[in-house]
Amino acid sequence: MGERGGGAGGSGDLIFQDGRLISGSLEALMEHLVPTVDYYPDRTYIFTFLLSSRVFIPPHDLLARVGQLCVEQRQQLEAGSEKAKLKSFSAKIVQLLKEWTEAFPFDFQDEKAMAELKAITHRVTQCDEENGTVKKAISQMTQSLLLSLAARSQLQELREKLRSPAMDKGPVLKAKPPAAQKDILGVCCDPLVLAQQLTHIELERVSSIHPEDLMQIVSHMDSRDKHRCRGDMTKTYSLEAYDNWFNCLSMLVATEVCRVVKKKHRTRMLEFFIDVARECFNIGNFNSMMAIISGMNLSPVARLKKTWSKVKTAKFDVLEHHMDPSSNFCNYRTALQGATQRSQTANSSREKIVIPVFNLFVKDIYFLHKIHTNHLPNGHINFKKFWEISRQIHEFMTWTQVECPFEKDKKIQSYLLTAPIYSEEALFIASFESEGPENHMEKDSWKTLRTTLLNRA
């Protein structure tokens, strides 16, 4: 819809390569965002710039600059008495604001940003009749924005009320629970069903992560970047909560295994979780799969050699192969690529599910940021870098919006989310009680644990 910017000249210019914007000054990039009578920015550019600009300028300041550019263009059109063009320009500004409020509604929770939004919408409606299309569009946009903000506010309040799974310290020296106490197999003995319920929880939790949350990995983790945004840091609660879920699931798996008294039952528990992890892999739920494998690889579980000797480990070996960390998790990335391709051509919601290993995704974004500079030697913003970061975040957001096709089982989910999990100390105690220490190091650890707990008692 028209081209803006162009040459490779002054500091305000934009640099294109093969028709793709690769760099420019912050001012030129901001100007490229704002429509004119015969130009409207590409949607991918709008998303990428609005996402990446917060590294350099707070959203409310960007909105203020957009407002200034709008005023300048309006004044030029008003001076020429071109009412039709003025109305067309106003409609494009409202469309830009609509895309902004839909993609990043949380930007407008800030009072300064909301004030700037009201100021811009007030200016663009001055040429519109009483019940004109521009005013209607602004009214609908504002209503949708307020609903989005209210929904997110309610979600945050709900998160604060939800308690984390209880950390069971285990009784002194005797970490085993009563024989009648329920375990995961007493709640769900079908690996596929449990994998489906884990996928439900994953999709519910990951849906609360927003693009700007992920962008904070870039804008706030590099304290040495003097150009980073110095506005108030938004809480990354959703990222922390999702990361905590991974850790809790790993500890729950370890707890379920270590607290079982009989070796035969422990073997069955390990084989059950191996099957659950395998079903997670088939679904495309790589995050739960990795959490389960991590739980089984924790020292208190991994040291149970007599138990593992009875386990048919062929399936587990395949899973570990998929999650082999060598060559930067090459095997996992191949599987993820396969799941992504399946998702892109899917005819059903089941085939669309892709839940990547979140920690690896975050590391990818962070290292992409660290490898490439924010600014080029000529002072331009390295927009090529932010195209790639934006592409990966946009792909992740597409995965989070998939509706879970599996029927929700409240009983199973309640157990997964609220079942007591052992502390690291209690896990080791339960493990040593199941299979005694085998070497000097383990004997010393067991002795220290007993002494610590006796003194605490």
pLDDT digits (tens, 9 = 90+) for 145-193: 999 888 877 766 665 555 444 454 443 334 445 545 689 999 999 999 9
What's the rounded mean pLDDT across residues 34-46? 94
State yes or no: pLDDT of 12 exceeds 70. Answer: no
| pLDDT value, residue 135 | 87
pLDDT at residue number 226: 43
State the residue for tokens 């590294």. 55
Residue-range domain boundaries for the chain: 14-152, 184-220+235-354+402-456
Q: Which two tokens stand for residue 420?
A: 């007591």
In terms of C-beta density within 10 A (0-12 exposed, 13-18 middle, 19 or more buried), how is residue 64 classed?
middle
Query: What pLDDT does residue 165 have?
Result: 47
Is the pLDDT assigned to residue 228 strictly greater than 70?
no
Confidence of residue 131 (pLDDT cuts 50, 70, 90): low
Higher model confidence: residue 122 or residue 383? 383
pLDDT per position as a tens digit, 445-457? 888 888 887 777 6
SS3 161: helix
> What CATH code would you report for 14-152?
1.20.870.10
Q: In whole numbers, what is the pLDDT of the chain averaged over residues?
A: 86
Q: Could you write out the three-class secondary structure of 214-278?
A: HHHHHHHHCCCCCCCCCCCCCCCHHHHHHHHHHHHHHHHHHHHHHCCCCHHHHHHHHHHHHHHHH
The percent of residues above 70 in pLDDT, for the chain, comes to: 86
Banded pLDDT at 8 (limits 50, 70, 90): very low
pTM for the model stands at: 0.86
Domain 184-220+235-354+402-456 class, CATH top level: mainly alpha
- For 369, other C-beta atoms within 10 Å of its C-beta total 21
| pLDDT digit string, tens, across residues 324-377 | 999 999 999 999 999 999 999 998 889 999 999 999 999 999 999 999 999 999
Q: Is the pLDDT of residue 253 over 70?
A: yes
Instruction: Report the percentage of the chain scoring pLDDT > 90.
Output: 66
Binned at pLDDT 50, 70 and 90, residue 10 comes out as very low
pLDDT given for residue 223 in this prediction: 44
Across 212-221, 251-260, 284-293, least confident range: 212-221
Number of H helices, E strands in the chain: 22, 5
For the ranges 71-75, 210-214, 217-221, 246-250, the lowest mean pLDDT is seen at 217-221
Q: How far apart are CA 146 and CA 141, in angstroms?
A: 9
| Angstrom distance (rounded) from CA 152 to CA 77 | 39
Domains 14-152 and 184-220+235-354+402-456 belong to one CATH topology: no
pLDDT at 180: 52
Answer with the residue of higher pLDDT: 389 or 449: 389
pLDDT in tens, 409-445: 999 999 999 999 999 999 999 999 999 998 999 999 8
